[in-house]
Structure 1
Amino acid sequence: MKRVLLDGLPFADPLPEGFLYHGASVFTTLRVERGEPLWLEAHLSHLRRHALALGLPYPGDEAFAQDVEALLGAFPKAFCLRLRLTVGEGVRLAEARPYTPLPPSLYREGVRVRLTSFRVHPDLARYKTGNYLPYRLALGEARREGAFEGLLLDASGHVVDGSRTSPLLFRKGTLYLLEGGLEGLTREKVAEAARALGFRVERAFLRPEELQGHLLLAGSGVGLLPVGRPPKALLPLIGRFLPACYTE
């Protein structure tokens, strides 16, 4: 069952117009494992920075921390949850729902992706805003073709983002963070872990024909998911981000 708080109170009324029509909001999503939100401070930092960049009043970390505590209390027996925290024009929204991880086989065998015809916003691509239609359309196109994820381009034809994940490319010992899309927090955590494991990490703008190597998808809902069967060199990195929900 989904639980929603609007400005700290149980939600029942329709969403404000800014949420519904012109995407005047920013949000972040995170996973809760064993009752602990993953990287909550970092998520709030991203949310605060994105809100201020778009001129949206940020209600403060403490307000969201109270919302998170209240939502966790509404699911006292839940092992894993998915949280979404949103800042709009003078309002904040906090949502929680039970989280079911992907089948473990996908982390061994990988998934399929589709390069879609959709492009990210030239000015807003780095921010996680309510202006989400291109990503929804990209995901729909991918699903119609039997793919797990749809990739989006920028105006120059670089592959910059996924509809719900941040793409990375592994090639010859180097992990490339594809630039031009959302500043994904999970992707940054993957980069930190990759450096600790001895990989080189670089940022790059890459066109579809330059994606030679092994693609990975990073996101709060998936951890680190390979596209196709991953090479052995990537297994320790993938394992570090495997959802702990499997261990209950």
Structure 2
Amino acid sequence: MSVRWFSGERAVPAWPDHDRGTAYGDGLFETMRAHRGNVLWWDAHWQRLARGATALRLRLPDQARVRDEVNALLDGGDGVLKLIVTRGSGGRGYAPPPDAEPNWNLAVHPLPAVPTAGLQLRWCDTRLALQPALAGIKHCNRLEQVLARGEWSDPDVHEGLMLSQAGDVVSAIAANVFVLHEGQWKTPRIDRCGVAGVCRSWALDTLQAQEARLAVTEVEAADAVFLCNAVRGILPVARLGACTWRPHPQVAQLQRHLAAEHPAFATEVS
């Protein structure tokens, strides 16, 4: 893993002291796929980051400077690029310092293994709190996801689906979910909690999918289910608890469509 840290415009050897992201989760992050030195969906990732900065009322570093540092760090290679931006450093207490310089960090990680078959899922007991002020953005407080992922250790289970406190299906722990009913693709609304994924946005447009409140029974009765995120692309689901699905041609077609637009995913098409 390669890592670089910055405070405002200055490169620094590590996170500065009293960082509010470390103390309070007062920050944002983006996890992106890099292929041959290029970051897939860079503009969409930055737009979501900017929406998050507006919601949290924090400053972002200069985008051109970040991009220059990304290019230098990737050096033409592949990997998972993670960008973290926090409000900056401040003393004890929740009140945001008015003139804080953002602290930010770039790291490149190895690509995850490519699934050889459909995913095996489970329902999570941990539920997502309803907080519309934070819905859609990728803020640094991910304790709900940490608790959910800690619910199992079975290596045959790849992911978990999470409900909101109101009982509707929201997403997987680290991906968005789509279901097919009578020829219509649907995905949960992300207006009360959850992350509005970049790959989710691509799939919404490509499939002309509907955003809807989805019940557990609607997912379990679907004709096909897939997960998606910006690092792993389109991931067919084979099992959810006692429910099973055969490979579906529409999911395979969507995988091919994504691979045609972004060759980084070409090796992941079955």
2:122 and 2:55 mapped to 1: Cα distance? 31
Number of residue pairs matched by the alignment:
235
Contiguous gaps of at least 5 residues in structure 1: 196-200
Q: Shift in Å at residue 40 of structure 1?
A: 0.6
1:53 and 1:232 mapped to 2: Cα distance? 39
Asked if residue 209 in structure 1 is aligned to residue 217 in structure 2, the reply is: yes
Would you say the 8 A contact 2:15–2:103 is kept in 1? no
Q: How does 1:57-206 map to 2 (within 5 A)?
A: 57-73=59-75, 76=76, 78=77, 80-89=78-87, 90-105=101-116, 109-123=117-131, 124-144=134-154, 146-180=156-190, 181-195=194-208, 201-206=209-214
Would you say the 8 A contact 2:163–2:171 is kept in 1? yes
Question: What is the identity, as a one-letter code, of the residue corresponding to 1:100?
Answer: L
Taking only the aligned residue pairs, the percentage that are identical comes to 29
Would you say the 8 A contact 2:6–2:103 is kept in 1? yes
2:202 and 2:265 mapped to 1: Cα distance? 19
Residue 198 (structure 1) aligns with:
none
1:11 and 1:111 mapped to 2: Cα distance? 40
Contiguous gaps of at least 5 residues in structure 2: 88-100, 239-245
Give the structure-1-normalised TM-score: 0.85
Q: Deviations over 1:164-201 (max 9, x none)?
A: 11111122221111113211111111222224xxxxx1
User: Would the alpha carbon gap of residues 20 and 13 (structure 1) be closer, same or farther in structure 2, given more than 3 Å must change?
Assistant: closer
Q: Deviations over 1:186-223 (max 9, x none)?
A: 1111222224xxxxx11111111121212211112210
User: Would the alpha carbon gap of residues 190 and 16 (structure 1) be closer, same or farther in structure 2, given more than 3 Å must change?
Assistant: farther
Would you say the 8 A contact 1:167–1:215 is kept in 2? yes
1:59 and 1:161 mapped to 2: Cα distance? 30
2:257 and 2:154 mapped to 1: Cα distance? 31
Question: What is the identity, as a one-letter code, of the residue corresponding to 2:105?
Answer: A
SS in 2 for 1:113: strand
Residue 242 (structure 2) aligns with:
none
Would you say the 8 A contact 1:169–1:215 is kept in 2? yes
Q: Which residue of the other structure, out of 56, 59, 62, is the alignment partner of 2:58?
A: 56
When structure 1 is superposed on structure 2, of 128-137 and 5-14 the one drifting more is: 5-14
Q: Which residue of the other structure, out of 8, 22, 25, is the alignment partner of 1:23?
A: 25
1:170 and 1:16 mapped to 2: Cα distance? 47
Asked if residue 2 in structure 1 is aligned to residue 2 in structure 2, the reply is: yes
1:237 and 1:142 mapped to 2: Cα distance? 30
Q: Which runs of 4+ in 1 moved over 6 A?
A: none
Question: What is the identity, as a one-letter code, of the residue corresponding to 1:86?
Answer: I
